[in-house]
Structure 1
């Protein structure tokens, strides 16, 4: 097979693959089991959000979960556009607040649809009026109900709207180093697409995840490993006592040759695993098949 030169193009699947940088200074602390539970919860929320939004604006809409990650609040805020709608949400018993973020243009489009306006009219990127603020808050209140329903026991109470801000750099929902669970969504209404995010303090969810989906006790790992290995299939064989021969003997073998073996007729066969004898057995008939009946076992040492 010819070697690829340094100038050889990569296959298209690899050429278009997005590579995500890994920060070794702050490794991910979210367990795989917890990550999967959160992904399922956010996927359920996305379906509920899309259904509720479509009913309110009377237009076909879908919400798709794109990514669920853990990041500090500073990193999350830096990833947002400077001008956007950020709804800060109060969580019971928590100083840090959650965030539901979406473009102001999207919210104004939803309000226009709710009031019966034309959906193809140009929409400026601006702050909300009092009426628009009230309508958007009602939409978000219903969205938070869907969030509480989707997360089940992970959220004890429905979050409440604390305020709506329009600058991601000035809206301070939590301390800069607070870890947040961040979900990225794509909202589609007709031919319009918007990017939205939901950020929740990791402390709230991780504490509940430890109860709803506990991680296995590390002390039980050896027993679990032995139990798993005990069900792995292996190949065993009945073998005669081996005889050493020269390569010349092997090369000169022809049909009809007899190769003497130093295996007494009365001695059982060796039952081997990976070439090592583990027991001895005699040949028997089991129904229409040949089988080996164990007569002795070898001493094994760990």
Structure 2
């Protein structure tokens, strides 16, 4: 059946319109996601992974330290690493609590270390000579127990400081300034909407289990955030420039260390009978040639050959060569 002229024109127009539609650029629709302005994300996923690795290392060191301190098997492991508001962290504190306020040099914010009472009281009981058993009732800490818990918290902070140094973060001024037992006092430490890194570390202490909570404000970590990235952990061994700088630092520190140095002219072997009969005025043959070399020892090891002489009224030795391997006193 033949098409009319009008049908042919309509068919051509429909093909042209379809071609024009296909040639129009496809504009991608914007991807939207929910954003809470009251609790903005301050820590990236890479920072959270880096913090996980940091506290995994810290937990291993703390396990060894606590096991030796309390003389019993203790396991420490990371439960969670999250970013939350400080208000959420403070609401999670029990009453009574055991919270250490930690200062970090001149930085504007403080770090908090919260010892769960389920493990704090058994730990203190163990330190006082007990079996590490929990009390029958929940109670606050006495002044003596508070002082002891401050020492425990400081030891944990010292281990955390050493862990930070492995990331090349200077944390030499970490100090537990005070201990708080009332959560109301702790709530005033930071603005409620400030974002913090909350790390929960689980502790299994004998038959007891509890947690230690770390609260690290963003304002405290902001200067060191680049060092907390997970990629930094995996690449820290291959940075030639940093390794060279570390070697220079170690070399500079070694320059002021004093080492024992001695100069030996020679030696001989005596029978015990001859040794016991020695008197002032006796002469001992050192079995060394008159024009031979003395040996300079460093840390008891032969390092240099020297000529013996005088400088004024004092004996002196002038180094003439480096001692080769095995160039020791044959008597010795």
TM-score for both structures, normalised by structure 2: 0.53
State whether structure 2 residue 195 is matched by structure 1 residue 179: yes
Higher deviation after alignment, 57-66 or 161-170: 161-170
Given that 2:154 and 2:175 are in contact with CA atoms closer than 8 Å, whether structure 1 keeps it comes out as yes
Change (3 A) 1:156 1:103: closer
Larger Rg: 2
State whether structure 2 residue 177 is matched by structure 1 residue 162: yes
**Alpha-carbon distance in structure 2 between the residues aligned to 1:49 and 1:151:** 14
Given that 1:58 and 1:114 are in contact with CA atoms closer than 8 Å, whether structure 2 keeps it comes out as no
Change (3 A) 1:58 1:123: farther
State whether structure 2 residue 42 is matched by structure 1 residue 29: yes
Alignment partner of 2:58 out of 23, 45, 55: 45
SS at structure 1 position matched to 2:132 = coil
RMSD: 2.5
State whether structure 2 residue 213 is matched by structure 1 residue 200: no
**Alpha-carbon distance in structure 1 between the residues aligned to 2:155 and 2:228:** 25
**Alpha-carbon distance in structure 1 between the residues aligned to 2:72 and 2:35:** 42
State whether structure 2 residue 135 is matched by structure 1 residue 134: no
SS at structure 1 position matched to 2:135 = coil
**Alpha-carbon distance in structure 1 between the residues aligned to 2:121 and 2:85:** 29
TM-score for both structures, normalised by structure 1: 0.58
SS at structure 2 position matched to 1:84 = coil
State the shift of 1:73 in Å.
1.2
Instruction: Count matched residues.
Output: 195
Change (3 A) 1:101 1:23: farther
Given that 1:108 and 1:123 are in contact with CA atoms closer than 8 Å, whether structure 2 keeps it comes out as no
In terms of fraction of residues, the more helix-rich structure is 2
**Alpha-carbon distance in structure 2 between the residues aligned to 1:109 and 1:144:** 20
Given that 1:187 and 1:196 are in contact with CA atoms closer than 8 Å, whether structure 2 keeps it comes out as yes
State the shift of 1:84 in Å.
1.5
**Alpha-carbon distance in structure 2 between the residues aligned to 1:66 and 1:23:** 26
**Alpha-carbon distance in structure 2 between the residues aligned to 1:139 and 1:103:** 13
State the shift of 1:45 in Å.
1.2
State whether structure 2 residue 73 is matched by structure 1 residue 57: no
